[in-house]
Amino acid sequence: MKKLWYKISYLGTPAAVDSQELQSAVLTNCISLIGALLMPMLGILYRLDLNFLNTELDKQKSESNKANELRNDKIKDAMAKLLHSNNKLIKHNNEPEQFSYSVSHNLRELVARLLGLIAVACTAATAALEKFGIKVLTFKSSYEAKLWLAQERIFLNGTNQTMGQGVLSLAQ
């Protein structure tokens, strides 16, 4: 309060006006001098801060790039495994088609021959000697069917082992 009263009473005199102008001129020069000195310092500090932030950002960017590369490698490995598994599944799905194709085209003749011979042997009109010859032919045909099935078993790695026994029991 005293300072405020002093300023009011002091500023009322003509000497106070001159001293106030002098003080303001000195303060203005000091402030401009301080500003002139501080502005380059602030610019340098700003640049240093930017450089520090840039290095930190570069470090984080390189770390994220490494992490992304690792993820991409894992994804590529997973894709390669999936493609390999898919190729295996396609191959395994094609095996039954190949087997059914070979069965329909290769076994048809053998089965037709066996069924025809059995039908002829079962008729009552044929003589005993003819029946014996038909039985021999039936046995040979069933043996050919057994050999063919053995070849198919090699193709399927032993998955159809009962098929050959069924043909032999049909011929007997």
Q: Coil, strand or helix: which one is 160?
A: coil
Categorize the per-residue pLDDT at 124 as very low, low, confident or very high, splitting at 50, 70 and 90.
low
Q: How many CB atoms lie within 10 A of CB 77?
A: 10
Residue 7 corresponds to which amino acid? K
Residue 50 corresponds to which amino acid? L
Minimum mean pLDDT range among 58-62, 67-71, 105-109, 137-141 = 105-109
pLDDT at 63: 94
pLDDT at 15: 46
The residue ranking higher by pLDDT, 71 or 151, is 71
pLDDT at 19: 57
Q: How many CB atoms lie within 10 A of CB 19?
A: 13
pLDDT at 75: 93
CA–CA dist 103, 156 (Å, integer) = 12
User: In this predicted model, what pLDDT tens digit does every residue of 1-29 receive, in sequence order?
Assistant: 445 444 445 555 544 445 566 567 667 77
CA–CA dist 135, 151 (Å, integer) = 24
Mean pLDDT of the 87-100 span = 77
